[in-house]
Chains A and B, each alone.
Chain A
Amino acid sequence: MKHTIGDFEQLILFALVRLGADAYGASIRTEIEKRTGRTISAGALYTALDRMEKRGLVASRLGEPTPERGGKRKRLYTLQPAGERALARVYESLRLMAGGIGARLRAIKE
């Protein structure tokens, strides 16, 4: 059964692709906030990651502790094939729908 993914989840998946091997809670938040300007609450982020892990879209493992986080370990996330497919589907439909109107969309001011 195919699941749809919400726009917040899409942002997270995009961030995972960008961050590659260094994707964990804090870096994902920073990446999304930096690129979109959107503020993200901890509650929403971890709940979404949890949910996507349960659905097999992402996988996680424990990483090494680093001093700037009080010696605490990281939970590193990687994109799974199902997640890649879901993201590709989303991107494909966006691309198809937005084909040829990119300039007009960019011109719209919020």
Chain B
Amino acid sequence: MSVQPPRLAEALLRLILPRDEAETVAGDLEELMPRARHPRAWYFHQVISLLFARMLERVPSPRSTDPARLTMAFRHDLAYAFRSLRNEPVFAATSILMLALGIGANIAMFSLLNAVLLKPLPFAEPDRLMLVQLLAPDRESGGVLAPMIWSYPKYAMFRDEQRAFDSTAVFGTGNWNLTGTSLPDRMSGEYVEATYFGVLGVTPQVGRTFSADETRAPGSAPLVILGHTLWRQRFAGDASIVGRTIGLNGIPHTVVGVLPQGFRGLSGQADVWVPITTLSGEDLNNPFDHSYNVVARLRKDVSAGQADSAARVIGSEIDARYGDPRRGTWSAAAVPLDDQRVAPIVRRSILLMLGAVASVLLIVCINLANLMLFRTLARQREVAIRLALGASRLRIIRQMMTESCVLSLFGAAAGVAIAWLVIHVGAAAMLPDLRVVLSPSAPGARPTDGETAGLMRVGLGLVGLDTSTLMFTVVIAVGASLLFGLGPAWSGSRRDLSLAIKARSAGASALPQRLPLRNLLVVAEIALALVLLTAGGLMVKSVARLQSTSLGFRSESLLTFRVPLAAPRYNARTATDVLQRLMAALARRGDVEGVAFGSCAPISGGCNRTTITFPDRPAPAPGTENRVEVLWASPEYFDTLGIRIVRGRGISDHDRPGQPKVVVINESAARAYFGGEDPIGKRIAVGQGGFGDGAEIVGIVQDVKYGGVDIAVLPGVYLPQLQSIRSGGVIFVRSRTRPSALVAAVRTELAAVDPDLPLVNIMMMDERFGESTWRTRVSAWLLGLFAALGLVLAALGLYGVISQGVEQRRREIGVRMAVGADGAHIMRLVIGRVLVIAVSGIALGVICAIPAMRILTSLLYQVRPGDPLVFSTFAVVLLGVALLAGYVPARRAARVDPLTTLRAE
């Protein structure tokens, strides 16, 4: 067989026919297809004819039961629709353009939703995959159980006792330096149990995965499986790599296999997979080192609910064995993996955007309904004659609906093009990767208690137009045509319109002068526009608030990067030496203003947390410990980042081992723990860094936002890096010129220190700020765009209705002017009507928006959903635009020449 049937047409066929019938009909079509001149087009044509035959069958029609004749009637309607639209090119073009905008926006948003929430996860039988979580009592709110990641001993207990799953797999994320190659590189990867690949249903493209023996006990042989991209880029897709070794952190690992293209593990960004048992026994044997995720494949005869209950039972056994009485009772739970794929706030943002585009489409439909209503008025004579000649009302409605469908389908086709453009241009213009917004926490963030950080990141690559998007398009196109076409068709085909023939010849419209329905529609669309405007306004105000938030440091001209100094090549002391040498070399350069080390970068997801105690105060009750963020900072840190020292001193070069231990605290800590007292000279004990025996507070510094721009500052403690040795962290370089110009210099200096060291996360501080506010900015941008679209469309709708009203009442206006009314009076009359419509719309909009905006609460930053300034601003803007839209037809009304009008009658 030379030609394959078009897949979309086949899918459509399966949609419209029952399964058996779809098969036999598809078989018939496939058999006949090779004979057609354009086989694929022919196939499509056949499926469409079936679709229409099915639809027409549902329409009861006493006169024509012969299917061939029904198809004929439909063809006739179609031809008629094309003719009449061609005769009104302006109407057709405007309608199609409006529909294209409305439908295109919907398609674009839907394809995002589809990629992020609807598309099945890219694993075998994804509905049987579950994430098993440990549940820990939340420290902040007592008694509440929060999901948590696993320690290896607890997982081993779960694995051995569970019966609800076919198999379970533990995995964690890790980073490795690829060494021994010309260009040292940092890779992300996963530590996995051998079962991991079977659970997810992935088979290697080359070689094999790990065997059960290879991940049985700590201390197993160093093996590695490569991801497809890494294999292609770094090893030229050479299959003989299997069996050879590559260096990871300086240790040779034997390559056992290569995974298929597209598989990046559950972390979504893995390039290598290493047996979890290559981790040290210390890491794996500690039941309180919670670092790993657990994924499991459900047994076929077990429901998700049963698995969850079973997990809870095992959870209580785990608590009995590894209990932590200070924190309360632990448990475990199993949740479908599909529910965990995006952070709730992202899900919420996307649904909100979909709501916004749906409102835009609704406004478009209202506008079109008004246009169609006006057209039926213009065609009332034609319709009346056809009714008089014996056409059934159904026949007339069918024909009008055919026109609506044609308009809508053209609009949808143009909408697909717009959506395609938006997706592609958008993908190119925005970040290379949507992961930043879609991941539950910012990049570089450490997994903290109560979240499965970094899990399930969805790449922008999944967004695109696929079959389900096209189905969605057809559904909304048909839905839209019903929405804007059915009402006008219904009212335009009324029998009593037959009066119109007589009425028209008598020279006056038989219809009521005012069409309350049309005015109500415009009121509704103004209300919708106001809702959209306030939503957009609130988001924009949030962004403004974010931008003006004090971060506590100077973010401009600041370059940040990490140097991973991994064991066993480096220990704490040699690592610190390397950092010192690198920093000294950079500081000597003329274009560098300052260099500093800090364990954690601002606005990037938060830092280590620990507890502090006060030697001179009673020990706190369990659950009420003082939690602080803890950072290690070099002496130059505050100076280089521009963090103001409020009292006392910063960290000095003399704060080294052997000297009295000192710490610096932030303003929040001073407020929270010392109230009115002066903290300088007081002693505190810090739970990390060897400062448990107490240190003296020597200074207070300004609050810095470490978590994110929109995350409140926590009490914080800074430890001197040279006194409590620490080498894992970020190097900050304050540049005198453009910081990006320094990147090459940093690479050179680093290579001079150790050519095997990669440079990681090199980033301008401004970029971190951008990432931290990305979601809010994109939401604001999109909502603002939709609101602007809504505003323009509502203004057009109002303009259309008012000018049609003026046209219809031209004669009345002429008469009024003939009996003495002047232009200004007529203008006041028209503007008065505009005002009534606009003010009612705005009032309705405010009433709807106040409760609706509560949905936005979690997305806003320092703005209340009922912000009176935003509401009043946009009410005024909308009123202004409405008056402008009404002014043009009002002026036309005022210029009506009574003589011409009356003579025309």
Residues of A within 8 A of B (CB): 6, 8-9, 24-26, 29-30, 41-44, 46-48, 51, 62, 65, 68-70, 72-75
Majority SS of interface residues in chain A?
Answer: helix
Contact A25 B25 (CB under 8 A): yes
The answer to whether B67 touches A47, judged by C-beta atoms less than 8 angstroms apart, is: yes
Q: Which of these, A41, A51, A68, A75, contacts B1 with CB under 8 Å? A: A68
The interface-forming segment of B45-53, B626-634, B641-649, B866-874 is: B45-53
Inter-chain pairs besides A51-B67, A72-B23, 14 sampled, C-beta below 8 Å: A8-B67, A24-B24, A29-B32, A30-B32, A42-B25, A42-B28, A42-B50, A42-B53, A43-B54, A44-B53, A46-B21, A48-B68, A68-B30, A69-B28
Complex Cα–Cα for A8 and B31 (A):
22
In this complex, the member of A42, A43, A44, A48 whose beta carbon has the largest number of chain B beta carbons within 10 angstroms is A43
The answer to whether A68 touches B31 (Cβ under 8 A) is: yes
- Complexed CA–CA distance, A62 and B24 (Å): 8
A33–B66 CA distance with the chains assembled, in angstroms: 19
Interface pair A46/B5, CB less than 8 Å apart = no
Could you jot down 15 A-B contacts, CB within 8 Å? Answer: A9-B66, A26-B28, A42-B25, A42-B29, A42-B53, A43-B52, A43-B53, A43-B71, A44-B53, A44-B68, A46-B25, A51-B67, A68-B30, A73-B23, A74-B28
Candidates B23, B30, B50; contact of A43 at CB < 8 Å: B50
Flag if A62 contacts B67 (CB, 8 Å). Answer: no
| A74 to B27 alpha-carbon distance, docked (Å) | 7
Contact A65 B27 (CB under 8 A): yes
Give Cα distance in the complex from A9 to B1, angstroms.
32
Chain B binding site: helix, strand, loop or mixed by DSSP? helix
User: Given A42-B25, A42-B47, A46-B50: A26 and B71 within 8 A (CB)?
Assistant: no
Q: Nearest Cβ distance between residue A74 and chain B, in whole angstroms?
A: 6
- Please measure, in the bound complex, the distance between the C-alpha atom of A27 and the C-alpha atom of B739, giving whole angstroms: 75
Residues of B with C-beta under 8 A to A65: 27
In the complex, the chain B residue whose C-beta lies closest to that of A8 is B68
Residues of A within 8 A of B47 (CB): 42
Please give me the residue from chain B that is nearest to A25 by CB atom. B28
For the complex, count residues of B whose C-beta is within 8 A of A.
Answer: 30
* Nearest CB in chain A: distance from B75 CB, A: 10
Is B24's CB under 8 angstroms from A74's CB?
yes
B29 contacts which chain A residues (CB < 8 A)?
Answer: 26, 42
Scoring A42, A44, A65 by chain B CB atoms within 10 A of each residue's CB, the highest score goes to A42
Known: A8-B66, A72-B23. Is A47-B53 also a contact (CB below 8 A)?
Answer: yes
Knowing A29-B32, A44-B49, A46-B53, the reply to whether A72 touches B26 (Cβ < 8 A) is yes
Cβ-neighbour of A26 out of B31, B54, B66 (below 8 A): B31
Report if A44-B23 is in contact (Cβ < 8 Å); known contacts: A69-B30, A70-B30, A72-B30.
no
Tell me the complex Cα distance, A104–B21, Å. 44
Closest to A42 in B: B46
Q: Which residues of B contact A69 (CB under 8 A)?
A: 27-28, 30-31
B-chain residues with CB within 8 Å of residue A51 when the two chains form the complex: 67
Contact of A75 among B21, B65, B69 (CB under 8 A): B21
Contacts of A6 in B (CB 8 A): 65-66, 68-69
B57 near A: Cβ within 8 Å? Answer: yes
Decide if B24 touches A41 in the complex (CB within 8 Å).
Answer: no
